Amino acid sequence: METNDGVPAAAGAGPDSPASDSPAQNNTPPVSAAQDNTAQDNPAPATPEVPEFAEVPEEVHGPLPVAELHLHIEGTLEPELIFALAERNGIQLPYADLDELRSRYEFTDLQSFLDLYYANMAVLQTEQDFADMTRAYLSRAALAGVRHAEIMLDPQAHVSRGVALETCVNGVASVLAVSEQEFGISTLLIAAFLRDLSEDSALEVLEQLLALNAPIAGIGLDSAEVGNPSAKFQRLFARAKDAGLHRIAHAGEEGPPSYIIDALDLLDVERIDHGIRCMEDPELVERLVHELMPLTVCPLSNVRLRAVDTLKEHPLPAMLAAGLNVSVNSDDPAYFGGYVDDNFAQLKSVIGLSEFDCVRMAANSIRSSFASEERKTELLAELAASGR
């Protein structure tokens, strides 16, 4: 089915997708200081140590215009920028050179990644550091076809190491305020809270953000999932809802389907990040399809963190076949082997993802965003005009 905007409808959706109470894209100033199928038959082998991704041919067309809905800004710190910021701030890194740092990008699970992810954050000290990181992501994202981005920032991870809340927020927000003018990407900022810390800690930081009138459009829940169920954070999400903020949560990446159900029922989320383990619960799949609940899937991330063994075994094709509202995202692209265009290219090369499904998921990403209805209409028209 195609909608009247000329792009494929989300599965189960009629010509008019439900409207959301979406704020306009974030142009708020920072707060003050007060695929070819030949690879399908013979994919590159995946070893238990380092997942292998296929070489892909150059795209005949440019990248699809998409919204990136699952992106951790700290996860865009490329090795070169880590070393540059360390030198600028006089920080001695525990790696002799870039090759030694890259050699540590071999993860056995989510926690093994998080250990390196948090260690590398030490180089982020000043507003300029956060701004440079954000600008580097937007520059690369523009090449990947990203036209709208909803960017997660982990404020607790910075406050806990002595960086002022204003510093990290201002640094990122100063670049997002001009992102559409400079990069053609509308943006929103989401404060993501660490589920392996206490709810009281999260509430304290949320109240500080609200007191600062920080330019955040919503909150999220990320970090170590297993052993930290959604039920821990009911007061946090209720407070965010009262404050008029959007609400998203990681669930069903490593945690069981029940974590997804709890995020829906206890946290009243509007979007599920990852969600791939929903496929283990047919009743949950039926519910997600019925509710058109967005699932922000990150295929290369799932392989690198061993949520799935190989890309060829990823449940994405089954999720699409079930009618789920799925989009493709990069998560922490500097660590997981690629940005959103790389994810699409690998999916086309390894599992034979069709052009129709690529366009379908691009449309899903736009409709599932918290962008204004005007911006969504604009981006869907751009997608329809791409001739894909």
What pLDDT digit, counting tens, does each position of 15-40 carry? 333 334 443 344 433 443 333 333 33
Which amino acid, residue 81? L
Q: Is there a domain that residue 54 lies in?
A: no
Beta carbons within 10 angstroms of residue 104's beta carbon: 17
Q: Is there a domain that residue 318 lies in?
A: yes
The CATH number for 135's domain is 3.20.20.140
Dist. CA 336–CA 298, nearest whole Å: 10
Q: How far is CA 41 from the centre of its chain?
A: 30
In this structure, what token pair is assigned to residue 138? 């937007």
Are the C-beta atoms of residues 12 and 289 closer than 8 Å to each other?
Answer: yes
Dist. CA 40–CA 351, nearest whole Å: 6
Q: What percent of the chain has pLDDT over 70?
A: 84
Is the dihedral angle over the CA atoms 234, 236, 239, 241 positive or is it negative? negative
Flag whether pLDDT at 371 surpasses 60. Answer: yes
- What is the per-residue pLDDT for 46? 40
Look up tokens 């366009």; give the residue: 359
What stretches of the chain adopt beta strand conformation (E)? 66-72, 146-153, 186-194, 218-222, 246-251, 271-274, 294-297, 325-328
Are the C-beta atoms of residues 220 and 182 closer than 8 Å to each other?
Answer: no
Which has more pLDDT, 73 or 13? Answer: 73
Its domain, for residue 353, covers 66-77+126-385
- Of 70-79, 108-117, 184-193, least confident by mean pLDDT is 108-117
Mean pLDDT on 62-86: 96
- What is the per-residue pLDDT for 9? 65
Dist. CA 172–CA 166, nearest whole Å: 10
318 — pLDDT class (breaks 50, 70, 90): very high
Mean of pLDDT over the chain: 88
Q: Is there a domain that residue 203 lies in?
A: yes
Give pLDDT tens digits for 110-145: 888 889 998 999 999 999 999 999 999 999 999 999
**Active-site annotation holder among 225, 253, 254, 270:** 253
Are the C-beta atoms of residues 258 and 280 closer than 8 Å to each other?
Answer: no
Beta carbons within 10 angstroms of residue 105's beta carbon: 15
**Helix, coil or strand: residue 321:** helix
- What is the per-residue pLDDT for 47? 34
- What is the per-residue pLDDT for 352? 96
User: Which residues partner with 222 through β-bridges?
Assistant: 194
Angle value at C-alpha 13, between 244 and 344, nearest 5 degrees: 85
Mean pLDDT on 201-218: 98
DSSP character string of 198-213: -HHHHHHHHHHHHHTT
Which amino acid, residue 222? D
Flag whether pLDDT at 287 surpasses 80. Answer: yes
Specify the number of domains making up the chain.
1
Per 3-state DSSP, the chain is made up of helix, strand and coil in percentages (nearest 5) of 45, 15, 40
Report which of 219, 141, 128 is spatially closest to residue 174, judged by C-alpha positions.
128
Q: Is there a domain that residue 261 lies in?
A: yes
Give pLDDT tens digits for 40-62: 344 443 433 334 455 554 544 68
Q: Is there a domain that residue 299 lies in?
A: yes
In this structure, what token pair is assigned to residue 327? 């989009």
Decide the pairing of beta strands 246-251 and 218-222.
parallel
Dist. CA 297–CA 271, nearest whole Å: 11
Are the C-beta atoms of residues 358 and 348 closer than 8 Å to each other?
Answer: yes
Q: Catalytic residue at 253?
A: yes
Angle value at C-alpha 84, between 82 and 89, nearest 5 degrees: 95
Q: Is there a domain that residue 37 lies in?
A: no
Q: pTM to 2 decimals?
A: 0.85
- What is the per-residue pLDDT for 195? 95
Are the C-beta atoms of residues 220 and 190 closer than 8 Å to each other?
Answer: yes
Buried b (16+ CB within 10 A) or exposed e, 241-260: beeebbbbbbbbbbbbbbbb
Alpha-carbon radius of gyration of the chain: 20
Beta carbons within 10 angstroms of residue 137's beta carbon: 31
User: Which residues partner with 325 through β-bridges?
Assistant: 294
How far is CA 108 from each of CA 214, 229, 280, rounded to the nearest angstrom?
A: 36, 21, 22
- What is the per-residue pLDDT for 111? 85
Give pLDDT tens digits for 348-358: 999 999 999 99
- Of 94-103, 291-300, 310-319, least confident by mean pLDDT is 94-103
Give pLDDT tens digits for 79-103: 999 999 999 999 999 999 999 999 9
- What is the per-residue pLDDT for 110? 82
Give pLDDT tens digits for 230-252: 999 999 999 999 999 999 999 99
Are the C-beta atoms of residues 172 and 134 closer than 8 Å to each other?
Answer: yes
